[in-house]
Amino acid sequence: MTFYEILVLIHIFSAILGMGPGFVMTPIAKKASNMTELKHAYAIRNKLHQFVMIGGTLLLITGIWMGFLNTYLLQQGWYITSLILYLIALAAGPTVLVSSSKPIKALLKQHKGEDIPSEYFTLSKKLFFYEYLINTMFLIIIALMITKPF
Residue among 32, 60, 97, 108 that touches ligand HEM (CB under 6 A) = 60
Residue 137: HSE in the Cβ half-sphere, 13 Å Cα cutoff: 18
Q: How far is CA 139 from CA 26, 50, 83, 130, in A?
A: 15, 20, 13, 14
* Among the listed residues 114, 110, 97, the one whose alpha carbon sits nearest the alpha carbon of residue 33: 114
Q: Which residue is nearest to ligand HEM (CB)?
A: 63
Q: In the complex with ligand HEM, which residue's Cβ is closer, 112 or 146?
A: 146
Q: Assess 66 for contact with ligand HEM (CB under 6 A).
A: yes
Residue among 86, 92, 111, 126 that touches ligand HEM (CB under 6 A) = 86
Expressed in angstroms, the distance from the first to the final Cα of the chain is 27
Residues binding ligand HEM (CB under 6 A) = 8, 11-12, 15, 19, 59-60, 63-64, 66-67, 73, 79, 82-83, 86, 138, 141-142, 145-146
